[in-house]
Amino acid sequence: MTPPQDPDEPRFDHQFFEGPANPHASVVIPSADGSRGGNVSRLIETLRSQSHVPLEVLIVIGVRPNGRARNRGAERVSGKYVVFLDDDVEVHDRDLLKKIFELLESAPGGIGAVGPSQTLPSNANPFQRRCARELERVHAPEVDTPIESDMVTHACLAMALETYREVGGEHEHLPRGTDPDLRARLRRIGRTILLVPHCSIGHPPPTEMKALVRTAYRNGYGSAQVARHFPDYSLPTASDHLAQAGDSRSILERGVGYLGRSARAVREGKFLRIAYEVAYGAGWGAGTVLDTQRNKLVLKRAAKPFLRALGGMLQARKEQRPALRFLTYHRIADLPGFPLCVSPTEFERQLDWLAAERLLIPFEQAIRVLDGARALERDSVAITFDDGYADNFTEALPRLLKHGADACFFLVTDRIGGLGEFGWVRKLGPPNYHILTWDQAREMKAAGMTIAAHTTRHQRLSALSEMDARECIDGSLRGIAREIGTPTTLFAYPYGRARDFGVRDMHVLENLGVETAFSAIHGAVNRETHRLAIPRIPIDPSDTLKTFQAKARGAFDFLGALRP
């Protein structure tokens, strides 16, 4: 029986057009749904009729943002050249690819990327034609000779696959601005960006005012996110063929440029341009003020001193015995303001403090405490990581080893070597969440880390039938045993709150040989703790060092009674 398609699982439609297993060129088309209102099918038929073969085409479905989709596509193709096409473009010329590859091969060492001019599609409506008159970069006429230009965009962009990999592919953290970023990195290594003469593609602008306003708002919001989180990548975009974008600009410089564009649009009576700039400004304001994830972290950080004081008072009223606490991390990454990501510097400070306070114990000893084979003489903590992100290997492991510490890493086994595409992470938006490989997991095991199970695809057990719950748990356990070489009796519940698993799931775990299961219920281990519902203490980027210290000492344990 074929399991149902996981809605969070990316899909790849891989096709070869009359070519060998090693095609000369590869086309990668990112698409949210693999259709784009039927345009993807039309695009495929147009590519089949191209004068250039052999060719392979890969449609990357359901991967966001597009920079991430292009990288995933580039990992799976094998042509000498790669062509990125948006799923809404219209190919006008049967010789488009032939002209592209002829230009790329005319000076392979110096050309970074090439692309055709962008014009209106053949079925453009009057509103779109007006957009072409009033808005920059909507319509660019064909050129007679190859020229260096910032009008080469991912709507249709071609380059040697080796060059793409040389510059590191797309910057997957950027919600907007991947075009100027890629062009800038190519120019830094001495490569040119050329428009291909005598060819164009149709790239549709918004079809109505509502769509234009929505696009402008989204662009403004994305630009604000880049300016706030990645100011070095806040690059301007040239407005015509010959101009080239400069270096990154400050928020003040961008503001002055915005006011200048808006004033010029009013002076020239370009009403669509005025509407675009107003919506763009609103999006920028929202992206600056209404950055949901960042604001949540700010609010949490502001609330934690109060919670720390309240927890301290509650602790003072109780008889204190030595307690064992398991800390939960997800990512160790230098991405300020992003959920789940504790910076490497902060993680090292936390480890330094734990070592100085003699609180940190090996994970194996913590399990012996749970077994009753070891008594606690003082408060103790052990470290766990959920999901298995790649930076657990690159950032967390070296720092753990430096401190003579270890941790237990709970892996989502079917995501190994790929991306954390499960729903709750995708809702967080950029940046990309790479998952470590099996080779890295084996190296971590050899270094003294514990490797354990976290289901196959991060499924919420309470939302599954008993049969499906058993399969995703058992599949994860079998995956660990097969790839790591030793079975595990440890498991962590995805999501892990009390409503995310139940007695049924604990029985399934018991029957599968799991002896210890960890939840996301807040608190320390105590006499009433069920061995298949071990509480943990989450550590996130809103924790200052003082907050972290209070969590490790138990000041936040009371939250376990408040959270469902």
pLDDT digits (tens, 9 = 90+) for 377-400: 889 999 999 999 999 999 999 999
pLDDT at site 72? 87
Which domains, ranges and CATH numbers included, belong to the chain? Answer: 1-203 (3.90.550.10), 206-290 (no CATH), 316-561 (3.20.20.370)
In angstroms, the CA 277 to CA 144 distance is: 33
Report yes or no on whether pTM surpasses 0.85.
no
Q: What is the distance, to the nearest Å, from the Cα of residue 33 to the centroid of all Cα atoms in its chain?
A: 18
Contact 170, 182 (CB under 8 A): yes
Buried/exposed 538-560: b ≥16 CB within 10 Å, e otherwise: bbbbbbeeebbbbbbbbbbbbbb
List the helix and strand counts (H, then E) for the chain.
19, 18
Q: Where are the alpha helices (DSSP H) in 137-250?
A: 161-166, 178-188, 209-229
pLDDT at site 248? 58
Q: What is the chain's mean pLDDT, rounded?
A: 87
Alpha carbon distance, N-terminus to C-terminus of the chain: 36
Nearest to 484 by CA among 447, 459, 523, 534: 447
For the chain, give percent helix, strand, coil, nearest 5. Answer: 45, 20, 40
**What angle, 0 to 180 degrees and rounded to 10, lies between the N-to-C axes of helices 438-446 and 466-484?**
60
- The band of 222, judged by pLDDT with boundaries at 50, 70 and 90, is confident
pLDDT at site 424? 61
Contact 178, 66 (CB under 8 A): yes
Say whether pLDDT at 236 is over 80.
no
Output the six-digit token pair for 179: 């075009």
Of 298-302, 322-326, 327-331, 445-449, the one with minimum mean pLDDT is: 298-302
Q: How is 253-264 classified by DSSP, letter by letter?
A: HHHHHHHHHHHH
User: Span 224-239, mean pLDDT?
Assistant: 68
pLDDT at site 496? 93
Of 32-41, 299-308, 537-546, the one with minimum mean pLDDT is: 299-308
Output the six-digit token pair for 412: 């989502």
**65-91 pLDDT tens trace:** 788 889 989 988 888 999 999 999 999
pLDDT at site 247? 56
pLDDT at site 428? 61
**What angle, 0 to 180 degrees and rounded to 10, lies between the N-to-C axes of helices 545-553 and 344-356?**
40
Nearest to 444 by CA among 500, 498, 397, 510: 397
Q: What is the distance, to the nearest Å, from the Cα of residue 206 to the centroid of all Cα atoms in its chain?
A: 27
pLDDT at site 266? 86
Contact 233, 248 (CB under 8 A): yes
Nearest to 240 by CA among 327, 356, 150: 150
User: Span 209-224, mean pLDDT?
Assistant: 89
pLDDT at site 7? 45
Say whether pLDDT at 342 is over 80.
yes
In angstroms, the CA 200 to CA 155 distance is: 11
Contact 186, 245 (CB under 8 A): no
Contact 205, 128 (CB under 8 A): yes
Range ranked top by mean pLDDT from 166-180, 319-333, 474-488: 474-488
3-state SS class at 205: coil
User: Span 355-375, mean pLDDT?
Assistant: 92
User: Span 521-549, mean pLDDT?
Assistant: 93
Question: Across-strand partners of 381?
Answer: 325, 360
Question: Across-strand partners of 451?
Answer: 409
